[in-house]
Amino acid sequence: MKAVRIHAPGGPENLKLDDVPEPTPKADQAVVKIDAAGLNYIDVYFRTGQYKSELPLTLGMEAAGTVTAVGADVKDVKVGDKVAYTGIPGAYAQYAAVPGVRLVVLPAGISTKQGAAIMLQGMTAHYLACSTYPLKQGDTCLVHAAAGGVGLLLTQMAKMRGARVLGTVSTDEKAKLAREAGADHVIDYKREDVAAAVMDLTDKAGVDAVIEMDLAANAKLYPGLLHARSQVVVYGTGAPEAPIPAQFLLVNQIAMKWIFVYELTATERDEAVGAITRLMAEKRLIHNVALTLPLGDIVRAHEVVEAGKTPGNVVVTMA
């Protein structure tokens, strides 16, 4: 079978389409014939070596497809089920062996392409809005990258929970998408002073929550935007060396919650995925798959993701 691997860290040109053995399931695993894999910035971090892993490494952390074989101890899925998963490396491949407990059966009305694109970002948006800082009626939140994959979902979920959303974007196209997702106000951080705009929009009261993934880029904004009970929720680790202002630590205003270390129980995970897929099937949650490319175009796919110019998800298909 074909799989995209890196043999050494580096740029997109280091992604190699290799021939590797097709997996067989262990007792607790199922083999999934992958239809589509979602691309996320974490894949870039592994490719460049910012996140360390044993090499060669098959990249990709989320995918969807059809179960073709199951191990003796797998009870929750069967051959023929359409499933999706996240958090297991090796999604850039035609087949993957995945622990059965990590597979989610897709409901009718959700395609495998949608399933591949929604798992990581959808679960992230859900725990940010519903658990880490449970947004409620009357809250005002600042969502950075409001037209990104997580940002668009987060904006919609925040509005469902009654919050007012201020979203930052970098282009007119992204501003339109954020507004369509429900953002009450959109701030173009390339043209506007974000701090001044937020204080104007909140009558100088500040926001209840800031939700973002790049603390280093934005930490300087926050001292003037927060009140005593505000919280900055960081769900990315793009800049782990970011300085954290001392006043944030003193009042416990920083919550760093990365999905792969966030303590989601199986029940919590199932509830989150169930809520996300149900809302999608009901057309109440819109997820934007901005670009679909074949596995053979993985270099271009990584260039697009790394450039950050495509709103919504990038998905690669195996066919």
* Per-residue model confidence as pLDDT tens digits over 12-23: 999 999 999 999
CATH-assigned architecture of domain 136-256: 3-Layer(aba) Sandwich (3.40)
What integer pLDDT is reported at residue 149 of this predicted model? 85
How many residues would you count in the chain? 319
Q: How far apart are the first and last CA of the chain?
A: 12
Break the chain into its structural domains and give their ranges.
2-120+265-317, 136-256
- Our measurement of the distance from residue 16's CA atom to the centroid of its chain's CA atoms, rounded to an integer in Å, reads 24
* Residues 11, 306 contacting (CB under 8 angstroms): no
pLDDT confidence tier of residue 213, bands split at 50, 70 and 90: confident
pLDDT confidence tier of residue 263, bands split at 50, 70 and 90: low
What integer pLDDT is reported at residue 251 of this predicted model? 47
Instruction: Check pLDDT > 80 for residue 257.
Output: no
* Per-residue model confidence as pLDDT tens digits over 156-210: 999 999 999 999 999 999 999 999 999 999 999 999 999 999 999 999 999 999 9
Which class does domain 2-120+265-317 fall in? alpha beta
Closest CA to 162 of 181, 127, 137: 137
Measure the CA–CA gap between 226 and 209, rounded to whole angstroms.
8
